[in-house]
Amino acid sequence: MIQLIQTLANCDKSFFSGWILAHAKILLQDKAIHYNNNLVNATKQRASFLVTGTDENNAVQQSLKVLLLLPKTKANTISQKTEKIGSYLFKQKFSTAQINDYINLSGDKNIIHQGENPIVPGLMMVLYLYEKFKDQTKWDIRFLYPVHADEEVFFYQQNTTINAYVNDILVFTIKFK
């Protein structure tokens, strides 16, 4: 999965710095040897990319499709508490040092992941969960609210869905297909 993320990070950083990840779809069928990043669509406020990993026969074995949004305002959004759905799995904090390690590994230099109180990269959290759910091949992830460094993220599972909460607020969901 890290090769998909590294290929995605190799885009026009000056244009997409400050943008947030809203949605990602990941396919992990088999090993890939060639990776390609394509800008599918872009407007002033949103862009979608498709990263593909192909095998020696040029068949797609892996893909990462993302939707990036440019926030309309930098003010903190007010979010409402939600009832936790599913069975508790575990909790995790992502430190600034871990974020910096991820940035160095992935190449994701987005400014929102730097400085004081950085936002945890969404794909960093997905990569963390990949270590626990490697048997899953199709991921559909919706990012609802940002997670900041050192916030405790609580993970719950209901059937084929993983829900992540910070302070009783649903911050992202993953559906395995």
22: phi then psi, degrees, rounded to nearest 5: -105, -35
Average pLDDT, the chain: 92
Q: Token pair 């593909």 is at which residue?
A: 52
φ/ψ of 119, rounded to 5, equals -85, 135
pLDDT in tens, 115-128: 999 999 999 999 99
Cα–Cα distance measured from residue 5 to residue 106, given in angstroms and rounded to the nearest whole number: 6
- Sign (positive or negative) of CA dihedral 146, 134, 32, 29: negative
Q: Cβ–Cβ contacts within 10 Å for residue 171, how many?
A: 23
Q: Which domains does the chain have, with CATH numbers?
A: 2-73+80-176 (3.10.129.10)
Alpha helices in the chain (DSSP H): 2-9, 13-16, 96-106, 122-130
Amino acid 10: pLDDT? 85
Its pTM stands at 0.90
Structural tokens at position 10: 């190799």
pLDDT for 17 equals 82
The pLDDT assigned to 162 comes to 98
The whole-number pLDDT of residue 89 equals 97
Q: What is the pLDDT of residues 23-74, one digit of tens each?
A: 999 999 999 999 999 999 989 899 999 999 999 999 999 999 999 998 875 5
